[in-house]
Chains A and B, each alone.
Chain A
Amino acid sequence: MEKILIVGLDCATPQLVFEQFASDLPNLAGLWQKGIKARMVSTIPPITVPAWTSMMTSKDPGQLGFYGFRNRGGYDYENLYFANANYVKEKTIWNYANRHRMAALCFGIPQTYPPKPMNGITVGCFLTPDKNADYTFPGEIKAELDKVADGDYIIDIKDFRTDNKDWLLEQIYIMTERRFKAFRHFYKKDEWPFAMMVEMGIDRIHHGFWRFFDQGHRLFEPGNKYENAIRDYYIFVDQKIGELLNELDAQTSVMVVSDHGAKRMEGAICVNEWLKKMGWLKLKSEPKEQTRFKMEMVDWEHTAAWSEGGYYARVFFNVQGREPQGVVPQNDYEKFRDEVKAALEAIADESGKNIGTLVFKPQDIYKEVKNIPPDLIVHFGNLDWRSAGSVGGGKIHIYENDTGPDDANHAQEAIFIWNIEPGRLIEKKDLISIYDLAPTVLKYLGISPPQDMIGKSLLK
């Protein structure tokens, strides 16, 4: 029986794993020295949702029908839903494995809450609201999970936005230690042709501690207490992987992957303030000072576009006959979209230098576009800048963010490590696509990759 184990490290980034920290990570290096390593191009947008599901299904966000954590349920103004497992309709690697009578162990893979009945074990991901929820399949293992995770399995960090960085760091370590411990326990309980866990800690530590380690970061202070926090954590994770590798038999193939990378964040673009300045968004009244954007502030009859933000921005248009108080005529939709796209691409920093923003039309980048996509997807400064929700105060560029951490943004390339014998690959590549992973794993398990998967198997 072929067996494959995938360790997912959310946000693990190639420039650290393959370069800066490579000599500190003997277990990971051992895997790629035996096999291969590559940078893996993530989805647009390169965000946990939809990237992991795109990886597991080899379907792009348009085919999946969700474009981020929150998605429009209808064309009214305040109708956003969280895309949890209920919205995953495409078939995953473990669905196919189960169809071929192979059991699967799925631990913390986004998006697996709420868990669906399957052949094996699912421990739901961080989209679980809290520990009271039924986040495991079978339900009975919930108690066992806590028991083997030192009494309390941690799904995700609560109260992430804290100034108490010591506490945050400790929580990240505890969460990781317990997850690996619990995973090893369930892994040893049975034979798993397909087993996968996703650890969120690297993403959490990047967002919380990047400024302390990146000497080029505007907030970096030399000699700070947390300068080695990220490096030490990567070393810790490498050790945990080493402990896991010790449990495996020689026949089990091991991949270590991430869903996207990370990089320094220069600042935030207040995109709704920018839309206001461009005359495309009107508020009922001008805020006295910079304030968080709320939909109820908007004068819809005089607004052509608004945005929801985060590490990237989604821009939505207020279209006649589509939105309740639409103003953009349907016939002018594409012309308006081109105009907004060009203007976004022209955004400069405060010195007037173009920041290199990438703007995408969903219809151009996805094989199909299901449900309601954003009208435009925006990577400010190619993700050097995040999107901020603030309006008022006249500032487009801000450096102190009211909504989230300022440290790191996501990057387009993830890591891919596999201890496969290189002779089994069609070719040894330095760059692969996130869509290639599922067909490759299925092929490895002896299952013909379905024709409708958009990626291709890396195996001969």
Chain B
Amino acid sequence: MKGFTLWFTGLSGSGKSTLAHRIEEILLERGMKVEVLDGDVVRQNLSKGLGYSKEDRDINIRRIGWVCHILTRNEVVAIAAAISPYKEIRNENRRLIGRFVEVYCKCPIECLKGRDPKGLYEKAIRGEIKNFTGVNDPYEPPEHPEIIAETDKESVDESVNKIIRTLELMGCIPAGEDSEDYTAEEEEKIKKRLKDLGYI
């Protein structure tokens, strides 16, 4: 199977990392080479020192995009999970990489403020964090993502299944199993052998 990039975009807390890691597990199980570039993790290494100005965000997303590009061309599935708020830069990555599947983790801001898994929305609303996407910094949703995961409405399993099924249909990943049952002839062969052995 050829490599491709699976790019998760969405507001903070919308489920990007959760879904990225669940997809990573499944693809590893199916024998694919996979790497995850999680925005929070990348900002601790590759993009350490970058801030949240537009300029710094663009550098960060372009860096992640470039790593995804070189992974993809080496038959690895590169899974990016970053807010990536500006569509111009996301589309630039799409053009660079080619085999690019965008997943929009769509969740209303009110729901995210309620979830607030890292306590960041509260801090942003209080003014303790500047340039926080969705509160006092923009997010430009994708216009034509390949997959939309409505994470306020779907369970994690539902979103994961939707993503996997779409990737199978797109021919990006092998099917998890052969859904065909034995033919009648094949079943007769198994039946005879098991009968001879006394199992049935």
Contacts and interface: CB of A to CB of B under 8 A. Distances in A.
Interface of A: 47-48, 69-70, 81-82, 84-86, 91, 95, 98-101, 114, 116-120, 126-127, 129-130, 133, 137, 156, 158-161, 204, 207, 308-311, 386, 401, 403-405
A116 B177 contact: yes
B190 A129 contact: yes
A404 B28 contact: no
B30 interface: yes
22 contacts: A48-B199, A69-B200, A82-B182, A85-B177, A86-B179, A100-B28, A116-B178, A117-B31, A117-B176, A118-B30, A119-B32, A129-B186, A129-B189, A129-B190, A159-B196, A161-B197, A204-B197, A310-B199, A310-B200, A404-B195, A405-B197, A405-B198
B25 interface: yes
A82 B194 CA distance: 11
A121 to B, nearest CB: 10
A78 to B, nearest CB: 13
A158 B193 contact: yes
Contacts of A70: 200
B179 to A, nearest CB: 7
Contacts of A95: 29
Interface in B146-195: 174-179, 181-182, 185-187, 189-190, 193-195
A460 B184 CA distance: 49
Contacts of B176: 116-117
Q: B-side binding surface: helix, strand, loop or mixed? A: loop
Contacts of A101: 28
A82 B190 CA distance: 9
Contact of A119 (B31, B196, B198): B31
Given A116-B178, A119-B29, A405-B198, 19 more contacts: A48-B199, A69-B194, A82-B182, A82-B190, A84-B182, A86-B177, A86-B178, A95-B29, A99-B25, A99-B28, A101-B28, A116-B30, A118-B31, A129-B186, A129-B189, A129-B190, A160-B193, A160-B196, A404-B195
A91 B30 CA distance: 12
A135 to B, nearest CB: 11
Interface of B: 25, 28-32, 174-179, 181-182, 185-187, 189-190, 193-200
A81 B181 contact: yes
B193 A86 contact: no
Contact of B197 (A84, A130, A160, A401): A160
Contacts of A82: 182, 187, 190
Contacts of B190: 82, 127, 129
Q: A-side binding surface: helix, strand, loop or mixed? A: loop
Interface centre among B187, B189, B193 (most CB of A within 10 A): B193
A207 B174 CA distance: 40
A101 B193 CA distance: 37
A316 to B, nearest CB: 14
Nearest to B199: A310
Given A86-B177, A98-B29, A310 B193 contact: no
A310 B199 CA distance: 5
Contacts of A85: 177
Contacts of B200: 69-70, 308-310, 403
Contacts of B32: 119
Nearest to B194: A69
A117 B174 contact: yes
| 10 interchain residue pairs of minimum CB distance | A404-B198, A129-B186, A161-B196, A160-B196, A119-B31, A114-B178, A117-B174, A129-B189, A117-B30, A118-B31
Interface centre among B29, B175, B177, B195 (most CB of A within 10 A): B29
B178 to A, nearest CB: 4
A207 B32 CA distance: 41
A195 to B, nearest CB: 16
A98 B31 contact: yes
Contacts of B174: 117
Interface centre among B175, B185, B189, B190 (most CB of A within 10 A): B190
B199 A69 contact: yes
Contacts of A310: 198-200
Contacts of A119: 28-32
B193 A156 contact: yes
B103 to A, nearest CB: 20
A120 B30 CA distance: 10
Nearest to B178: A114
A390 B188 CA distance: 20
Contacts of B186: 129-130, 133
Contacts of A91: 29
Contacts of B185: 129
Contacts of B181: 81, 86
B30 A129 contact: no
A71 to B, nearest CB: 11
A310 B32 CA distance: 41
Contacts of A309: 200
A348 B8 CA distance: 67
A80 B104 CA distance: 43
A431 B29 CA distance: 32
Nearest to B26: A99
Nearest to B174: A117
A69 B199 CA distance: 8
A264 B164 CA distance: 50
Given A86-B177, A116-B177, A117-B31, A207 B182 contact: no
A396 to B, nearest CB: 19
A70 B187 CA distance: 11
Nearest to B195: A403
A405 B186 CA distance: 23
Contacts of A47: 199
A254 B9 CA distance: 46
Given A69-B199, A133-B186, A310-B200, A118 B194 contact: no
